[in-house]
Amino acid sequence: MTPRISKKHQTNVAFQGEPGAYSEAAAYLHFGHDITTLPCETFDQVFYSVTEEEASQGVIPIENSLAGSIHRNYDLMQRYDLMITGEYYLRVNHCLLALPGVQLKEIQRVHSHPQALAQCEANITKLGLSPIAERDTAGSARWVKDNEDRHAAALASRHAASVYNLQVLRENMEDNPANFTRFLALSKDTQSVEFNDEEDFKTSIVFSLPNKPGSLYKALSVFALRDIDLTKIESRPIAGKPWEYLFYIDFAGHIGTDVCSRAINHLNETAPFLEILGSYKRHKNNNEIVLE
């Protein structure tokens, strides 16, 4: 798969988790296989690695179709001066992984991140397995491999099975198949992705508003008046200012177009603070993609 965005020196991509994590799979699928991935223990370290140019890009999850927004990463976007350069929707397919040669009837316990266990609760119960919470999905796959436990399985990605040489006993363990995670690509580059009239773009911004009646209505109206589609709205508290909020908005369009730039200028008249986080190509292909 070729990279969706082309930039110079785009070789190191930081992600949170261990090798085999869903975030690493998203990095390969978004940028292509000709990259070097940099595992980070925390989301903070992903942002730091890109800021300090230890990595040229970072990949972070920002929302899941079942679990909602990852608020920590919204807050980190304010702490670090990075730009959003792309997005990728990853179909989350939880696989039951075990040591090579192990049969399903031998499995007694299943290890994984608590969220993954919760998303597969009905199928875990149906198989009569005991859930064991771990720090992350890829780490649970590594645990099964390192401990050589024939009675233990992990809930993780097919990518993790390849990394840790495990076999896939069962795919699609999730109870709800409409399970997607939206990932953002981050860069220290302050320039937006090059605009092309023939492609669909999305722009992300963050702003504050005065605490006055109708402020939010007026802010959103600058988009409604111009028929600009809002694809995401998220509010986060402002640290040190109780009951005041930052508003994160994603909308369809590129900041380079007249209609979008006029909307931003209009919003800037009433917003005490406004920052453009990036204009980037929209990812519309939500079909399931398997990373071997």
- The residues annotated with a catalytic role in the active site are 181, 183
Q: Which two tokens stand for residue 232?
A: 């995401």
φ, ψ at 82 (rounded to 5°): -120, 155
Q: What is the Cα–Cα distance from 78 to 63, expressed in whole angstroms?
A: 17
Q: Report DSSP letters for 11-70, one per residue.
A: -EEEEESSTT-HHHHHHHHHH-SSSEEEEESSHHHHHHHHHTTSSSEEEEEEEETTTEE-
Q: Is 227 left (phi over 0), alpha (psi -120 to 50) or beta?
A: left
* Of the candidates 125, 264, 135, 279, the residue with the CA atom closest to the CA atom of residue 202: 279
